[in-house]
Amino acid sequence: MTDELVLAARGGPLDTDDRRVLHGCAAQVAASWESRRSRRQAEALSERAVSDRRRAEALRAAASDLEAEVAAAQGALEQLRERRTHLSAAQWAALCDRSQQAVRRIGALVGDVLDLSRVHAGALDVHLRPVDMDEVMAVALGDLGPGGHTLTLEMAEDLPDVIADATLVTRVVTDLAAHALRRSPDGEPPAVAVKTADGRVEIRLADHGPLDVEAREAVGVPVPVTGLVPRLCADLTQLIGGDLRWEATTGGGLTAVLSLPAAAESGRTARRAAD
């Protein structure tokens, strides 16, 4: 039928009319096969283009975040070197802390880039199972260190378990909470609320940071246009079967809304039944 496709038939001898019918069928099969192959090729190219675009966005976000942290570390170190004889002990300690925090943040960003590359390469193992949100929030707040104590947390009673990878969902919640802490001004800590909605569990993390032009454009879309952490969180959320979107916080700021499928039966309910 084509240079790459042969239609083989078996049976008795064909007369002229049968051959005409067979050739007509062969032409239709060839056209359908070619159309399907072209569609698959177009879909593959489209997926590759989307993947390349997401990778480029992630790299731009990583470069921007790293540039800011490197500048902060460099500025603090230059002040330590140039003004070491004119600094009080408190000023010296503050500059040391600033440079140390910037270097620690750079290390975390490098880790995020490596994790993002593993996600895109399909090299990240995912184990979906019922996960207790009480445990997730306890670990996430603990991982935040002293900053976790400033968050306000509101959790609905008798929450069902979520279907997720325990390690990855904890990573996403921790990173989103840390992102909200960095954006919020002093005296206005982020608020976290966990509740059920339409058979799913929603974790809402609201900050009170400024809404620049790009942040305003990001409201209502799945992923903000800037920042490596939101991009990584979005990809990890998709990997575990969840959704991540962004809304405007009442009074100013951004709210991350993480939605996860609820398990068929609450972990608490199951434990009560067992008792």
Instruction: Tell me how far apart the alpha carbons of residues 144 and 140 are, in angstroms, rounded to a whole number.
Output: 6
Q: State the architecture of 129-268 in CATH terms.
A: 2-Layer Sandwich (3.30)
From the centroid of its chain, how far is CA 20? Answer: 57
Whether the CB-CB separation of 261 and 199 falls below 8 Å is answered with: yes
pLDDT, position 271: 46
pLDDT, position 220: 56
pLDDT, position 12: 86
Instruction: Tell me how far apart the alpha carbons of residues 225 and 151 are, in angstroms, rounded to a whole number.
Output: 25
254, 193, 190: which is closest to 227 by C-alpha? 254
Which residues have C-beta within 8 Å of that of residue 246, sequence separation ≥ 6?
A: 218, 219, 220, 221, 222, 223, 224, 230, 254, 255, 256, 257
Instruction: Tell me how far apart the alpha carbons of residues 274 and 268 are, in angstroms, rounded to a whole number.
Output: 10
Instruction: Tell me how far apart the alpha carbons of residues 45 and 233 are, in angstroms, rounded to a whole number.
Output: 25
Helix (H) or strand (E) holding 46: helix 16-82
Question: Tell me, what amino acid is at 51?
Answer: S
The token pair that represents 201 in the structure block: 């569990």
Tell me the C-alpha to C-alpha distance, in Å, between residue 104 and each of 34, 73, 97: 54, 10, 10
Q: Give the position of tokens 């904890």.
A: 170
The token pair that represents 191 in the structure block: 């608020």
pLDDT, position 43: 80
DSSP per residue over 231-255, as a string? HHHHHHHHHTT-EEEEEEPTTSSEE
From the centroid of its chain, how far is CA 92? Answer: 38
pLDDT, position 120: 65
Helix (H) or strand (E) holding 23: helix 16-82
Instruction: Tell me how far apart the alpha carbons of residues 216 and 243 are, in angstroms, rounded to a whole number.
Output: 20
From the centroid of its chain, how far is CA 191? Answer: 20
Tell me the whole-structure pTM to 2 decimals.
0.62
The token pair that represents 28 in the structure block: 């239709």
pLDDT in tens, the chain (275 residues): 777 788 888 888 889 998 888 888 888 888 888 888 888 888 877 777 766 666 666 666 666 667 777 777 777 777 777 766 677 778 778 878 777 777 777 777 777 777 767 776 676 788 899 999 999 999 998 888 877 778 899 999 889 999 999 999 999 999 899 888 888 888 888 999 999 988 899 999 999 887 665 555 555 554 454 567 788 888 889 889 999 988 888 888 889 999 999 997 644 544 444 44
pLDDT, position 14: 86
The token pair that represents 73 in the structure block: 């570390």
Q: Structural domain boundaries of the chain?
A: 58-120, 129-268
Instruction: Tell me how far apart the alpha carbons of residues 273 and 48 are, in angstroms, rounded to a whole number.
Output: 49
Tell me the C-alpha to C-alpha distance, in Å, between residue 238 and each of 167, 202, 261: 14, 15, 12
